[in-house]
Amino acid sequence: MKITVYGPGCHRCHETEQVVLKVLAELDIAADVEKVSDWKTMVKAGVLATPAVAVDGQIRLSGRIPTPADVRGWLGRQKTEGGVRP
């Protein structure tokens, strides 16, 4: 699974990455977490507001910091879709 955190490097973007990493650690799920701060790449991905988070290329959140429950919900959907391997 690949999780991408989009943002210019502001405090909110760093906090978003920390929430994602914390939930992954709590659930003991391995994932490739990437930070993208290049505006051209963000626009190409369809990001309209930052911070934004994509899971396997699908934007799941944009314009706010996710809650741990948000992240757990995305990972739960991934599990049912067969995208997570414990």
Mean of the pLDDT values across residues 19-38? Answer: 95
d(CA 10, CA 15): 9
Q: What is the pLDDT of residues 14-27, one digit of tens each?
A: 999 999 999 999 99
Q: Is the pLDDT of residue 71 over 90?
A: yes
DSSP string of 7-69? SSS-HHHHHHHHHHHHHHHHHT---EEEEE--HHHHHHHT--SSSEEEETTEEEEESSPPPHH
Please tell me the pTM assigned to this model. 0.84
Instruction: Give the HSE-up count for residue 30: Cα atoms under 13 Å, Cβ half-sphere.
Output: 2
CATH of the domain at 69: 3.40.30.10
Residue 76 belongs to some domain of the structure: yes
Residue 86 belongs to some domain of the structure: no
Q: Is the pLDDT of residue 44 over 90?
A: yes
Q: Is the pLDDT of residue 37 over 80?
A: yes
Task: Write out the residue range of the structural domain in which residue 24 sits.
Answer: 2-80
Quote the pLDDT of residue 79. Answer: 44
